Amino acid sequence: MRHCHILTLALSLYFLALFLPTQARHHYHKKHKHTYYHNAPEISPSPAPAPAPSNASDEATSPSPSDNENYHNASNSLFDVRTFGAIGDGITDDTESFKMAWDTACQSESPVKVILVPQGFSFVIQSTIFTGPCKGGLVLKVDGTLMPPDGPESWPKNNSKRQWLVFFRINGMSLEGSGLIDGRGAKWWDLPCKPHKGPNGTTSPGPCDSPVAIRFFMSSNLTVQGLRIKNSPQFHFRFDGCESVHVESIYITAPALSPNTDGIHIENTNDVRIYNSVISNGDDCVSIGAGCHDVDIKNITCGPGHGISIGSLGNHNSRACVSNITVRDSVIKVSDNGVRIKTWQGGAGSVSGVTFSNIHMESVRNPIIVDQFYCLSKDCSNKTSAVFVTDIVYANIKGTYDIRHPPMRFACSDSVPCTNLTLSDIELLPDQGDIVLDPFCWSAYGNSETLTIPPVFCLLEGLPQSISGNDIDHC
């Protein structure tokens, strides 16, 4: 999110989005029926507007599947991308066929519409924005393999380098299938601007955009189910501005040292269920950003990676509200963190009503951590405001920690302490030797309801004096 963009738009055959780096603005306006977004860095490259259902002259020059009764008619609700011309040989650019299949299915009146990416084929498609609203819900069934062009060199110059497949303004969609989505991230991870990838292990300056593999933006009633997805150049999934999201039985893999390859990132997204999934990668397993509430995460296995994270929140003095988050019945192994809440100094808002329960840790560096001093540069100055962290439950968290860090760390803001942290049935042992490190607390109020291992004596009782002040923003 370091670089700002403005969206410029070009419509040719169907529509093409051009993303050019420049200053960000935070508004949008309507013009000639098309919505143009000028993005704040948080809502990065916004997708193009919905294509008007059109019979524009361009269409007449290419074979239109809807003209062909063999391919599609109103009673036929299966849209096989091959019938729209996709080749699936792993080389040919099949983008236009996918767009055509999408637009046809999207406009179809059939009650159930399935866009099929058949098994046994490998489709290369460029960065594309699949736009709604559609006439009713649809299914994108990926039984084959989907891949982007291989690395930044082969990425079309005028395509966004910040996202690959985008689903925009869709209500009611299922992305499912037995296939594979292969982000081909390796060449992106090795760019000289990535950490330690420059000459002699340096990090070269300059823009370092890499695409999120799958982004759902301003959409609702979404299901992602059964897929395997690997090696995204950046986040594997990003949901922003979405409502009612169900992720079920997915399998995400990327190497432990692949930078920024978060498994599932959500922000400004509510009513989220992430169940029965396995994620191993080079960054957060699941990351929960500002504006999320009602999130239930159950039976997921994370690691290697960076664990499950709420945050980072409050960057650039921003206000963040996160509430009603549950993470339960899960395993976190060989990870830099277990369950983490991280905020920058200077923010506002709150994180409240979070429950981490029944979690098994295996060789995790910071199994339980609240870090309100999150800072990437080491020279962040202390500020007097912070995102308020309150009503956090840690229950039945057991297993082993990597002895390089204490098993529990509650580092809270001096001016806005954490309150009502409750611990019960915590049992964290060193993964090797018998050096038991003491938990660390700073400005942290709460209590242990049962004896914990190691024992926590550093939590402060009751409520801080300052908490009645005006500093607290309850969202």
Ligand X SMILES: *[C@@H]1O[C@H](CO)[C@@H](O)[C@H](O)[C@H]1NC(C)=O
Among 80, 414, 471, 473, binds ligand X (CB under 6 A): 414
Which region among 71-79, 105-113, 187-195, 302-310 touches ligand X (by CB under 6 A)? 71-79
In contact, 235 and 210? CB cutoff 8 Å: no
Minimum separation from the CB atom of position 154 to ligand X (A):
13
Q: With respect to ligand X, which residue has the nearer C-beta, 78 or 334?
A: 78
CA 200, CA 211: separation in Å to the nearest integer?
A: 26
Minimum separation from the CB atom of position 190 to ligand X (A):
16
- Give the closest residue to 422 by CA, choosing from 461, 449, 401, 441: 449
> Which residues are identified as catalytic?
306
Minimum separation from the CB atom of position 68 to ligand X (A):
10
CA 297, CA 281: separation in Å to the nearest integer?
A: 18
Q: Strand, helix or coil at 188?
A: helix
Per CB under 6 A, 62 contacts ligand X: no
Per CB under 6 A, 358 contacts ligand X: no
Per CB under 6 A, 55 contacts ligand X: yes
Per CB under 6 A, 4 contacts ligand X: no
In contact, 26 and 40? CB cutoff 8 Å: yes
Per CB under 6 A, 73 contacts ligand X: yes
Count CB-CB contacts under 10 A for residue 154: 12
Minimum separation from the CB atom of position 232 to ligand X (A):
19
Per CB under 6 A, 243 contacts ligand X: yes
Per CB under 6 A, 35 contacts ligand X: no
In contact, 428 and 454? CB cutoff 8 Å: yes
In contact, 414 and 443? CB cutoff 8 Å: yes
Per CB under 6 A, 200 contacts ligand X: yes
Residue 270 main-chain phi, psi, to 5 deg: -130, 160
Which region among 35-43, 50-58, 117-125, 448-456 touches ligand X (by CB under 6 A)? 50-58
Count CB-CB contacts under 10 A for residue 103: 23
Residue 468 main-chain phi, psi, to 5 deg: -80, -10
Minimum separation from the CB atom of position 56 to ligand X (A):
5
Among 318, 353, 357, 471, binds ligand X (CB under 6 A): 353
Per CB under 6 A, 199 contacts ligand X: yes
Report CA torsion sign: 191, 193, 198, 203: negative
**Host H or E run for residue 329:** strand 319-333
Minimum separation from the CB atom of position 247 to ligand X (A):
11
Minimum separation from the CB atom of position 296 to ligand X (A):
3
Length of the chain: 475
Residue type, 182: D
Residue 97 main-chain phi, psi, to 5 deg: -65, -40
CA 188, CA 279: separation in Å to the nearest integer?
A: 20
Residue type, 167: F
- Give the closest residue to 297 by CA, choosing from 254, 334, 246: 246
Per CB under 6 A, 174 contacts ligand X: no
Per CB under 6 A, 468 contacts ligand X: no
CA 341, CA 314: separation in Å to the nearest integer?
A: 12
Per CB under 6 A, 382 contacts ligand X: yes
Per CB under 6 A, 54 contacts ligand X: yes
Among 171, 358, 447, 466, binds ligand X (CB under 6 A): 171
Per CB under 6 A, 447 contacts ligand X: no
Per CB under 6 A, 59 contacts ligand X: no
Q: Residue 53 corresponds to which tokens in the numbers above?
A: 């259902």
In contact, 381 and 344? CB cutoff 8 Å: no
Among 249, 396, 424, 466, binds ligand X (CB under 6 A): 249
Per CB under 6 A, 221 contacts ligand X: yes
Among 393, 436, 467, 475, binds ligand X (CB under 6 A): 393
Per CB under 6 A, 257 contacts ligand X: no
Q: Residue 391 corresponds to which tokens in the numbers above?
A: 């009503």
Site string for ligand X, 84-123 (x = CB under 6 A): ----------------------------------------
Q: Residue 364 corresponds to which tokens in the numbers above?
A: 């995790």
- Give the closest residue to 330 by CA, choosing from 234, 376, 398: 398
Which region among 222-230, 254-262, 294-302, 361-369 touches ligand X (by CB under 6 A)? 294-302
Per CB under 6 A, 204 contacts ligand X: no
Which region among 23-31, 150-158, 279-287, 335-343 touches ligand X (by CB under 6 A)? 150-158
The residues of the shown chain that bind ligand X, judged by CB under 6 A, are 54-56, 69, 73, 75-76, 156-158, 171-172, 199-200, 220-221, 243-244, 249, 276-278, 294-296, 299, 324, 326, 353, 381-382, 391, 393, 414, 420
